């Protein structure tokens, strides 16, 4: 059968890491494609972030029997619109929705233009859906799959247990012309890869630990290295929810990468406490190519850190930032702007960033994401669709979707000002990093090591 997998585009005006700030390879779709190809299906991927107007042509030229759409919460309505268009142009084509949002709130896809909704890991259930379709059966009774029957959606039962080593290697051959366009900041072209999934922490704003039921899954080192060795790009974003949790795995992986002679530039997530605890491990990773860490600092007050259940204090954060700098590892510092922020809170955040001389701060607005306690009910959500469901297109973490203490306009002015405040510095840093000058990073480390820090609060 012919299968088209679609990555939706977002609203154009997102700031931060919107479609303008970063577009990375559609790893989920490459996994699904690899699975479907094992059963002999013909698969194409359409990345609408790069080809915004290409949907109709792709459908009409290729005439797929099934279309799969992925997406985060901000893509829900776009995903539904894509499937409406599929049914308009190809009424017999089967539509399947999956991804983060479908996993946590499948009911948002219980609409007439959708045939199946997949919760959780998608490769196995997607293969089963396709097998059923190829055999002329209705794809019902499949674990993790909701299927429309007589206008109602019926569950096929709980998803399969997640087994990180029971997945095919993602098929990176399907987008030969797009690969050069994938980037995150200066890292271009960039590939995505994972070596672990899950997180042992329980931050209140995050849903990832819930998706994995609180478990931490580790991939076999040989499989990671085999995949890595076949990745053509020099830059690699390890999409692990929190990479440096299992010391043994990460030491072994670094050693295996080294002995395989693989030379890449890595970017990945790291908590401050992992950084402080695992300096030796981080050094080993820096030596095999770790260039940049995404550090979710989130908050600069003890109260917010506690509210978020971050389990860190300000002095640890400041020490961690110093350590990263001294190691010569670039830091993407992520901050959550709480909707309770008043002008003085914005000022305090700016002071913190300046005090710690962060080169590349970035900001998101506290958003009650699906899967978090904050979204158990939709009561707090102020931005709703006419049907009462949240306005998912605003769940890009760049819009307040709950009440703000400041008037909304004033809040947004202050919020945009944060980006403006640091844009010059960030751009200059990006330019420097674009030159990929390790010497310059070492120089920064040398200067940092000569400076003394005193906590800001
Ligand atoms: C890589 C990544 C990015 C990349 C882009 C992703 C890409 N492919 O291009 C970058 C860095 C650009 C990015 C940006 C943003 N991201 Co992001 N990102 C991730 C991250 C770390 C990994 C995603 C990934 O590739 N996972 C690996 C794949 C294999 O897993 P998967 O996507 O879950 O797919 C599996 C299943 O879900 C299922 N499945 C998925 N799709 C489908 C489709 C079908 C048909 C089927 C059957 C099954 C299926 O099967 C797959 C294989 O097992 C996740 C966190 C995480 N650990 O997942 C956040 C995450 C997805 N991002 C998130 C957010 C919010 C954003 C931003 C809005 C943040 C911002 N404003 O700064 C932007 C939006 C940018 C944009 N326009 O898309 C949230 C989404 C939460 C939500 N409910 O919406 C997440 C979950 C992180 C979080 N904070 O909780 N992100």
Q: pLDDT of 252-278, one tens digit each? A: 999 999 999 999 999 999 999 999 999
CATH code where residue 275 lies: 3.80.30.20
Q: 239 CB under 6 A from ligand 1?
A: yes
Q: Do 438 and 323 reside in the same domain of the chain?
A: yes
Report the mean per-residue pLDDT for the chain.
92
Q: How far is the CA of 330 from the centre of ligand 1 (A)?
A: 23
Q: CB within 8 A of 397, min separation 6: which ones?
A: 16, 364, 365, 367
Query: What's the rounded Cα separation, in Å, for the pair 124 and 174?
Result: 20
Q: What is the largest CA-CA distance in the chain?
A: 71
State the residue range of the domain holding 45.
2-155
Report the pLDDT value the prediction gives residue 446, as an integer from 0 to 100: 62
Q: Do 249 and 313 reside in the same domain of the chain?
A: yes
Q: 168 CB under 6 A from ligand 1?
A: no
Q: 118 CB under 6 A from ligand 1?
A: yes
Q: Do 149 and 195 reside in the same domain of the chain?
A: no
Phi and psi torsions of 163, nearest 5°: -130, 105
Assign 456 a pLDDT band (cuts: 50, 70, 90).
Answer: very low
Domain end residue (candidates: 155, 173, 200): 155
Report the pLDDT value the prediction gives residue 432, as an integer from 0 to 100: 74
From 14, 72, 106, 394, give the residue whose CB has the most ligand 1 atoms within 8 Å, as the site to mutate: 72
Query: What's the rounded Cα separation, in Å, for the pair 295 and 313?
Result: 14
Query: What's the rounded Cα separation, in Å, for the pair 411 and 306?
Result: 23
Assign 425 a pLDDT band (cuts: 50, 70, 90).
Answer: confident
Q: Do 262 and 329 reside in the same domain of the chain?
A: yes
Report the pLDDT value the prediction gives residue 433, as an integer from 0 to 100: 76
Q: Do 302 and 222 reside in the same domain of the chain?
A: yes
Phi and psi torsions of 265, nearest 5°: -115, 120
Average pLDDT over residues 3-26: 78
Assign 13 a pLDDT band (cuts: 50, 70, 90).
Answer: low
How many folded domains does the chain comprise? Answer: 2
Residue with more model confidence, 47 or 427? 47
Report how far Cα 365 is from the mean position of its chain's Cα atoms: 16
Report the run of H or E that residue 251 belongs to, with start and end. helix 247-259
Domain-embedded: residue 380: no
Report the run of H or E that residue 430 belongs to, with start and end. helix 408-434
Q: 147 CB under 6 A from ligand 1?
A: no
Q: Do 57 and 203 reside in the same domain of the chain?
A: no
Q: Do 119 and 251 reside in the same domain of the chain?
A: no
CA-proximal residue: ligand 1, atom 3 (nearest): 24
> Residue 332 forms beta bridges with which residues?
294
Q: Do 361 and 225 reside in the same domain of the chain?
A: yes
Closest atom of ligand 1 relative to the 49 alpha carbon? 77
Domain-embedded: residue 323: yes
CA atoms within 13 A on the CB side of 138: 11
Closest atom of ligand 1 relative to the 121 alpha carbon? 53
Report the pLDDT value the prediction gives residue 359, as an integer from 0 to 100: 87
Average pLDDT over residues 327-337: 94
Q: How far is CA 433 from CA 127, 358, 427, 440, in A?
A: 42, 14, 10, 9
Report the pLDDT value the prediction gives residue 318, as an integer from 0 to 100: 95
Query: What's the rounded Cα separation, in Å, for the pair 83 and 233?
Result: 32
Query: What's the rounded Cα separation, in Å, for the pair 67 and 8?
Result: 12
Domain-embedded: residue 456: no
Query: What's the rounded Cα separation, in Å, for the pair 371 and 177?
Result: 36
């Amino acid at each position: 059968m012919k299968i088209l997998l679609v990555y939706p585009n977002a609203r154009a005006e997102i700031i931060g890491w919107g479609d303008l700030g970063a577009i990375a390879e559609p790893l989920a779709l490459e996994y699904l494609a690899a699975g479907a190809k094992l059963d002999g299906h013909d698969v194409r991927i359409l990345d609408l972030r790069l080809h915004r107007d290409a949907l109709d042509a792709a459908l009409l030229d290729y005439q797929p029997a099934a279309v799969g759409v992925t997406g985060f919460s901000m893509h829900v309505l776009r995903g539904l619109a894509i499937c409406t268009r599929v049914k308009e142009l190809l009424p017999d084509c089967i539509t399947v929705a999956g991804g983060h949002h479908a996993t946590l709130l499948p009911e948002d896809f219980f609409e007439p233009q959708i045939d199946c909704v997949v919760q959780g890991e998608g490769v196995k259930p997607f293969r089963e859906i396709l097998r059923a379709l190829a055999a002329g059966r209705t794809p019902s009774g499949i674990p993790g799959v909701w299927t429309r029957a007589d206008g109602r959606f019926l569950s096929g039962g709980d998803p399969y247990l997640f087994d990180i080593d029971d997945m095919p290697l993602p098929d990176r051959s399907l987008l030969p012309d797009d690969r050069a366009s994938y980037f995150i900041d200066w890292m271009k072209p960039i590939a995505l890869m994972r070596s672990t999934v899950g997180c042992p922490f329980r931050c209140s704003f995050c849903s990832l630990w819930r998706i994995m039921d609180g478990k931490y899954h580790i991939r076999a080192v040989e499989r990671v290295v085999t995949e890595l060795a076949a990745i053509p790009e020099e830059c690699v974003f390890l999409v692990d929810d929190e990479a440096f949790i299992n010391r043994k795995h990460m030491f072994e992986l670094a050693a295996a990468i080294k002995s395989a002679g693989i030379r890449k530039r890595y970017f990945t997530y790291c908590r401050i406490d992992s950084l402080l605890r695992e300096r030796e491990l981080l050094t080993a990773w820096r030596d095999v190519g770790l260039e940049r860490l995404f550090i979710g600092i989130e908050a600069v007050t003890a109260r917010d850190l506690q509210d978020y259940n971050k389990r860190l204090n300000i002095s640890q954060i400041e020490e961690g930032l110093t350590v990263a700098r001294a190691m010569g590892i670039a830091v993407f510092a992520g901050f959550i702007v709480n909707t309770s922020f008043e002008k003085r809170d914005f000022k305090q955040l700016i002071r913190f960033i300046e005090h710690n001389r962060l080169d590349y701060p970035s900001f998101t607005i506290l958003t009650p994401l699906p899967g978090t306690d904050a979204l158990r009910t939709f009561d707090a959500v102020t931005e709703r669709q006419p049907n009462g469901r949240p306005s998912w297109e605003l769940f890009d973490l760049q819009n307040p979707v709950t009440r703000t203490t400041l008037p909304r306009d004033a809040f947004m002015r202050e919020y945009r000002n944060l980006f403006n405040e640091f844009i010059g510095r960030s751009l200059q840093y990006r330019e420097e990093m674009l030159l990929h000058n390790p010497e310059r990073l070492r120089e920064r480390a040398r200067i940092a090591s000569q400076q003394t820090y005193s906590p800001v609060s």
